[in-house]
Amino acid sequence: MNCEIKNILIIGGGPSDVGHENEQDAAAFQAFSMWKNIGIKTFIIDNNPYSLLLQEVPASDVFVKNINTQNVEEIIKTKKIDAITSIYGKKEALKVIQRLNKNGILKNYNVKIIGLNENNISLFGGIKDNVDNNTVLANRLLENDIPILASNIINDFDELRSNIEKIKFPVSVKPVNPIKGQYRNVFQNVEDLNAQINDIFQQSKVNKISLEKEVGTYKEIGMVAIRDKAGTKMIISSLEDMNPVKVNSTDSVVFAPAQTLNDIMLQQLRATTFKVMDCLGIKGICHIQFAVNSKTDEYYVLKINPFFNQETSIAAKATGYPLAMIVASIIINYSLTEIKLPPKFNKLTPILQPINDHITVKTPIWPFDYLDMADSHLGPHAKATGAAIGVGRSAEAAFMNALRSSQPSPKDVLPSYNYLSEDDLIEQLLHPTDQQLLILYEAVNRGYSTNDLSEITKIDEFFFVIMKNILKIVKFVKDNPLDPKALLAGDRYGFGNGMFCHYWNVSNQTVVYLQENLNNKKTYKMIEPTAGEFIENTDSFYGSYESESDSNQLSNNSALVIGKGRNHLGPNTAADTYTAEMLIQLHKLGYKTIILNNNPNSVSLIPIISDKQYIEPVQLGEILNIIKLEKPSYVFLPGNRHYLIRELSKLKDNFTLIVLPPDQKNGIWNVPKADFAIDLLVSRNEIIPISTVGFKSQEDIDDDEVDKQTDYYIPFGKDALDIKKIEKMAKNEVQEHQLTGLIQVLFHTNHHTGGYAVSGITPLRITETIFLNEVTGINWIKILMQMYTEHFNPSFLKKLIPSIDSTSRFAIMQIIFPFKSLGISNIPKKRDFEIGAKLSFGKSISDSQKNLLK
């Protein structure tokens, strides 16, 4: 099929934040790759330095600018854009297209909106304030008999009384246009409502309140679906939050597919999902959130998300369906029957609804061990900064794999909370925090009935049965050290060798020896969308203990890259982009690439950038099993995994172990402060200066404490430094400490004399490596891969590097913090608290600073 579209503009997702990692960037990258193969040029506007698209799309097609109407309009005018899409961005991307559509810019320049229906794009933005606000979207849904929560705007007490008669308790009430932050009050009866309603009216600037039915205790169910130009629709996956609606889905454990709904309810939600997509003319992807009362079969549409998000990412990982690739084809007007996939997929895959023969579980990752001053109670506002998934044949195995993936050590998987009093335990059950999952296990372990726990928490009994089953096997394993039956049971339930070592106080070698004697070997099952009904050769696998394995050795010339796993504060999404670049560059060097990771929102798990993906906990037992099967030539391991480095170093005769990204603890410091630095590439025989970099605190311009330097700018300024002197001092430091790779030598200024001295020398941080990529136009991760695999050509590199600090443009990278999302303030802005960053270029430092705000 010929495609009329030649140039597409993707509006990116901007800096990562709470509830937003790399999931949209991963989907956009797959779209870019697919469109490139059929001759479509992709342009991207984004200011997220950690975007893989910004690393891989040609620089001439990348616009590092803030996402706003003016900047997007300029690109449309200058680049002959045929089509524009917001489905790979956040709310601001949608708002920009809505404005451009409304003011006629898109029509004037003949730009098509893809991924959403241009006639209905103004409808999106939320259905919460709907009926009495005359929201067109709400009316459209109600006209099509789609159940939504009616939000009634109340002006006085008479209106309140008449509306209360229509809505059954419990009800949710909140002030309209509140004087302070938006919040809601839940009332179970009219007496409690009457006692507080006057105060709530007074909290509104316009003396009005919003009244709606309260569904916070209902189940939250998600449906991810696609629809093509012919109106053909398909459910990709259902998703079920373990927590009820009152807890944000980002902060809940999520099961795919849904576990507790009967077939009749699933079919009702399926039909409603299709009806929503039809009446809104959605062509592409849609994730719909439902509130479901399984006792009464009552349900409501809570939210319509016609774009890629964390839930669509889980759906893709859980099913093996090439969702991003299919949607990229649909939005440029291919029907499902016209889509041609790579040969590894069955030719019928695009039109076959995925079937699961396994279960996937997502667990949230929290920031509170870094930011313990934040309120860790769970509620309607997202607080998780990352996620990890586990996959298994049973719900128990998937749950345990997810738990192990969410923790850095097997010892942390199910710690005891037996020190809690009964009153404290019940308080935690009623008002859950980030420790909820472990508190639930503690309650089950103490003998609370599944019925009582369900009544207290509003979590379905099914999930407590799973926990009960797991704890039964935990006890059996603990009580029977080295017992073959205990080992077999634990393996079947997803325990992992590390847990056996912990419970039995034995080495991993002892556990492996016992498994081999029992012929109980780890096997791997393919994650593919037909549950074995059709021949598929997808590249994603999860571990199991079955008689047959779907995975064989990939190649005699392969590289295994161990991913970061769960995203946390600090390098966060930058580390994942770094890992993805390692895979891309190793593949270009001729290696077959294998990734072990478990973050569902990861760009490093994009199927097209590696030859094989293992979705497993990043723990020693799993790594050794993969090494045993794949026999890689190289194993790349992050520098902060000290235990794994120690253990794998014992086996280095079998492969070359490379620690990358490097460990920052390898740095040597004279004083923990800095004003500027010089970045260098150091090989065994060469020291190559690259650029100077300046630092600045976002809080106090005179504060030179290294950890508080959260603005970076390149170059520092050639007029401010004696470059030759700086280079000489830096080279002396390198020669003294013998570090290799990308190295940064930091300096502080003596403000009295105007001179400067060395503060320290350290491996270049992950975030700054990616910043250096953007500024120099040289992919330094590519250079590192060449260095560590003996493909490095220093003379070629020297030709690429311009004279130091001779650049005609300046760049600033400014760190983003999650403080606002977490409801905290007056917190020092430190590197350890980073969740993302934004990037800006200009002809001078001041220009770059201004462009950060434009």
- Quote the mean pLDDT of the chain: 91
CA-closest candidate to residue 804, choices 706, 689, 726, 693: 689
Within 8 A by CB and 6+ apart from 394, the residues are 359, 492, 493
- State the alpha helices, DSSP H only, in 631-779: 642-649, 723-737, 766-776
CA-closest candidate to residue 85, choices 44, 126, 119: 44
pLDDT above 70 as % of the chain: 97
Rounded Cα distance, 188 and 168, in Å? 9
pLDDT tens across 136-172, in order? 888 899 999 999 987 788 888 878 887 887 777 888 8
Within 8 A by CB and 6+ apart from 411, the residues are 498, 502
The mean per-residue pLDDT over the stretch 525-544 comes to: 88
Rounded Cα distance, 794 and 798, in Å? 6
End-to-end alpha carbon distance in the chain: 41
Give yes or no for residue 130 having a pLDDT over 60: no
The token pair that represents 19 in the structure block: 């509830």
pLDDT tens across 701-754, in order? 778 899 999 999 998 865 667 888 999 999 999 999 988 999 999 999 877 777
List Cα–Cα distances, 215 to 147, 218, 298, in angstroms: 13, 5, 10
Give yes or no for residue 2 having a pLDDT over 60: no
Beta-bridge partner residues of 815 = 837
Do 353 and 319 meet the contact criterion of CB atoms below 8 Å apart? no
Rounded Cα distance, 664 and 834, in Å? 16
List Cα–Cα distances, 401 to 82, 404, 440, 495, in angstroms: 45, 5, 17, 7
pLDDT tens across 192-224, in order? 888 888 888 888 888 888 888 889 999 999 999
The mean per-residue pLDDT over the stretch 174-185 comes to: 76
HSE value, Cβ hemisphere, 13 Å, CA-based, for 434:
21
Q: Is the four-CA dihedral 276, 280, 286, 290 of positive or negative sign?
A: negative
Q: How far is CA 606 from the centre of its chain?
A: 12
Q: How far is CA 783 from the centre of its chain?
A: 27
The token pair that represents 458 in the structure block: 């509003």
- Predicted confidence band of residue 769 (pLDDT cuts 50, 70, 90): very high
Residue 767 phi, psi dihedral angles, 5° rounding: -60, -40
* DSSP annotation string for 420-434: S-HHHHHHHHHS-BT
For residue 141, which amino acid is it? L
Q: How far is CA 790 from the centre of its chain?
A: 33
CA-closest candidate to residue 746, choices 648, 675, 684, 848: 675
Within 8 A by CB and 6+ apart from 850, the residues are 842
The per-residue pLDDT for 800 is 78
CA angle 817, 57, 334 (to 5 degrees): 105
The per-residue pLDDT for 131 is 38
Within 8 A by CB and 6+ apart from 74, the residues are none
List Cα–Cα distances, 448 to 419, 461, 684, in angstroms: 16, 12, 62
Roughly what angle, to the nearest 10 degrees, separates helices 484-492 and 461-479? 150
**3-class DSSP string for 201-256:** HHCECCCCEEEEECCCCCEEEEEEEEECCCCCEEEEEEEEEEEECCCCHHHCCEEE
Contacts 24+ apart (CB under 8 A), 457-466: 457/429, 457/430, 457/432, 458/217, 458/244, 458/246, 459/242, 459/243, 459/244, 460/219, 460/242, 460/260, 460/294, 462/259, 462/260, 463/242, 463/253, 463/259, 464/440, 466/395, 466/396, 466/399
The per-residue pLDDT for 182 is 61
**3-class DSSP string for 286-324:** EEEEEEEECCCCEEEEEEEECCCCHHHHHHHHHHCCCHH
Other beta carbons within 10 Å of 312: 29
The per-residue pLDDT for 805 is 59
DSSP code of 476?
Answer: H
Q: How far is CA 334 from the centre of its chain?
A: 28
pLDDT tens across 376-417, in order? 999 989 999 999 999 999 999 999 999 999 987 777 788 889
The mean per-residue pLDDT over the stretch 756-761 comes to: 94
Rounded Cα distance, 185 and 214, in Å? 10
List Cα–Cα distances, 574 to 111, 364, 645, 761, in angstroms: 33, 19, 21, 21
- Predicted confidence band of residue 38 (pLDDT cuts 50, 70, 90): very high
The per-residue pLDDT for 155 is 87
Roughly what angle, to the nearest 10 degrees, separates helices 91-102 and 69-79? 60
Higher-scoring residue by pLDDT: 574, 162? 574
Within 8 A by CB and 6+ apart from 509, the residues are none
HSE value, Cβ hemisphere, 13 Å, CA-based, for 436:
26
- Buried/exposed code over 758-772 (b: 16+ C-beta within 10 A; e: otherwise): bbbbbbbbbbbbbbb
For residue 251, which amino acid is it? D
Q: In what order do the strands lie in the sheet with 741-749?
A: 668-669, 756-763, 741-749, 676-682, 687-697, 709-714, 810-816, 836-842
Most confidently modeled of 142-151, 346-355, 481-490, 747-756? 481-490
**3-class DSSP string for 739-759:** CCEEEEEEEEECCCCCCEEEE
Burial class (CB in 10 A: 0-12, 13-18, 19+), 337: exposed
CA-closest candidate to residue 253, choices 454, 376, 437, 429: 437
- Least confident piece of the model among 155-164, 179-188, 330-339: 179-188
Do 563 and 599 meet the contact criterion of CB atoms below 8 Å apart? yes
The per-residue pLDDT for 138 is 86
Domain architecture of the chain: domains with CATH: 7-114 (3.40.50.20), 150-213 (3.30.1490.20), 227-244+258-354 (3.30.470.20), 533-661 (3.40.50.20), 665-853 (3.30.470.20)
């390149």: which residue's tokens?
714
Give yes or no for residue 117 having a pLDDT over 50: yes
The token pair that represents 561 in the structure block: 């890259």
Rounded Cα distance, 478 and 411, in Å? 13
* DSSP annotation string for 12-44: ---S-BTTBSSHHHHHHHHHHHHHHHTT-EEEE
Rounded Cα distance, 144 and 278, in Å? 10
Q: In what order do the strands lie in the sheet with 523-526?
A: 523-526, 540-544, 612-615, 592-597, 558-562, 634-637, 656-659
Give yes or no for residue 802 having a pLDDT over 80: no
For residue 654, which amino acid is it? N
Residue 371 phi, psi dihedral angles, 5° rounding: -115, 70
The per-residue pLDDT for 134 is 42
CA-closest candidate to residue 48, choices 89, 94, 86: 89
pLDDT tens across 580-600, in order? 999 999 999 999 999 999 999
Beta-bridge partner residues of 836 = 816
Other beta carbons within 10 Å of 168: 9
Give the start-end residues of each E strand in 664-740: 668-669, 676-682, 687-697, 709-714
The per-residue pLDDT for 718 is 55
